[in-house]
Amino acid sequence: MHRIYLDHAATTPLRPEVFEAMRPYFTEKFGNASSIHSYGRESRAALDESRSVIAKALGVSSSEIFFVSSGTEANNFAIKGIAMKMKEEGKNHIITSKAEHHALLEPCTFLRGYGFEVTFVDVDEFGMVHPEQLRNSMRENTGFVSMMYVNNEVGTINPIQSLSTVAHEHGAIFHTDAVQAFGKIDFNLQESGIDLASFSAHKINGPKGIGAMYIKKGTKIENLLHGGGQERGRRAGTENVPLAVGFAKAVELLVREGESVNRRMGDLKIQFRRMLNEKFPFLLFNGHPTDSVSHVLNVSFDSEQIEIDGESLLFNLDLEGIAVTSGSACTSGSMEPSHVLLAMGRDIQTAKATIRFSFGKDTSEADLSFVIEKLESVIKKIGRLKRL
């Protein structure tokens, strides 16, 4: 069967160059980076070099980059670590948005059980947070603000610099989940006014199981993991040198090729949107039409025009060899509507009947033509147009 992968926002395939860069550190270069003998020093040198590569790509000092296991851990580290320090200053109010990833929403909910107040600000119809929305939510006891750089479901880019300015005007620490932004848009952490940021390797053709946390110099934050003195005392646990090397190699390739890849994906997105719009007039396009990343295109089937089961839609596309997702969470076998789309104003049935297409460096025009052909046959099979 001809298979097409269009779920790169979920994870990306590991590039062969990345695998080869990691290979020696699984075998002959296996030393613990905290050991003082030659094996350990060899691993330490690789770890330090990897950190430097990532820091340079982000425009920060290597002393401000800390390796973690994932973007989820980075988000938990940021919000829980700052929350502990907020209490020392008599602050207990946290602000985030209704369209954040669950890796941020769930820690916020957790902290509410420990005396913290959380405000979830609204997003507009494109999934964007406006600075005035944030400004109106700020209080004297606000200590932490977190807004994602790029929405993982619809691809909308938030005005991060303006949002961080508002947070700082009120004396709050500003964090961004930049997992979907890294490598997809140009940004400089120092120039953006960001205090903390989360990253993940497997979104940029690197290995799963490793992420990075940017902690701006001078930011007071409690450690999430306690134990040894690894990661300069910030994150206890034996360092995962092979994955750090893989992360850095993926970043090297990104710096070298990212601009041309993103430009090509942007052209594909424009072309694919036009093809979908011409073929399926009952589709609604989610996310900002211009302030969005090139690799994500999210569409919903308008419930006022067509009746279609979202879960059946994804299942039938998979049978045709097309791997996509809805951006929704599947719980106990039943499709739940996307909290992001609901926050944007979509009705429940429309939100359930959604497809997130996300492109990668090897996605081709032929792939998209194949998807259009198969999508048409699936819709004829399971969809029911309504009389208007």
Hey, which residues are catalytic here?
330
Q: Which residue has the tokens 């807004």?
A: 147
Return d(Cα 309, Cα 383) in angstroms, integer: 8
- Residue with tokens 């980059």, as numbered in its chain: 65
Residue 311 per-residue DSSP state? H
3-state secondary structure of 334: strand
The residue among 305, 302, 297 whose CA lies nearest residue 284 is 302
Q: Compute the distance between CA of residue 351 and CA of residue 281 in angstroms, rounded to an integer.
A: 17
Is there a contact between 109 and 268 (Cβ–Cβ < 8 Å)? no
φ, ψ dihedrals at 143, nearest 5°: -120, -15
The tokens of 110 are what? 């957790």
With contact defined as beta carbons under 8 Å apart, do 93 and 117 qualify?
A: yes
Q: Length of the chain in residues, anyone?
A: 388
- Residue appearing with tokens 């994602």: 148
Encoding tokens for residue 245? Answer: 């090397």
Largest distance between two CA atoms of the chain:
76
User: Are the CB atoms for 133 and 180 separated by under 8 Å?
Assistant: no
Report d(CA 204, CA 112) in Å as an integer. 33
The owner of tokens 């948005």 is 97
Which neighbouring-strand residues pair with 335?
A: 330
